[in-house]
Chain A
Amino acid sequence: MASREADDVSLPQSDCYVGPTHVYYTLGPRVFWFFSPVPISKDDVERVAHLARIGIDSTEIDTYTADLDRILDLVEQMNEISTQGIEPLAHPQDMQLRLREDTVTESDQRALFQSIAPQTDQGHYLVPKVIE
């Protein structure tokens, strides 16, 4: 596979075609692939569903796996761009988190906030027993 130094001096002219259902992004010379795309498996989806605490049953798992695979195909297009030495951008204007004086400014509104809770008792939110 043809490779070229993945530096960020200048990107080759790219052509972007937006058709009815596809976005084709082509570069002149091929860029070296840092990460080879791996299709997402049902096991991956189950693992991730558990991490996200979303119940996915056996009738749905195939659909979600196929959908996520489609999305990952789209996402793989990122690998066509060199990002060597590029600083990640977390905030559009690289703002740092603002600090304030360490003084009390809020009042106790627990009763108000808990008035919409599904189940409470003496100021606690109730959930099923965790410790056996």
Chain B
Amino acid sequence: MIPTSHYLVVSLLLFTTGVIGVLTRRNVIIVLMSIELILNAVNINLVAFSQHLASLDGQIFAIFVITDAAAEAAVGLGIIIAFFRNRQTLLADEMDLLRW
């Protein structure tokens, strides 16, 4: 059997990749995709511990996290469409109307 810590390390690597994507990319769509990566890493953690503790609650939580990801993607992409319609750009650092 594969030890649980191996799953944790995979999850950590995916999580950090997602964080790097969120912090460094300028394209808003790729930032959203990096957030999906982060959510995915969390899901791996939840399912690994669900197996580790022989309890299914982790898998239920993972289903709810996926539901949240669907809602978040729908609203986030809607915001991107509205932003693109108004500014004709996709770059995150041009969303600076409220910047002081």
| Pairing of A with B | no
Q: Which B positions have Cβ atoms within 8 angstroms of A?
A: none
Q: Which A positions have Cβ atoms within 8 angstroms of B?
A: none
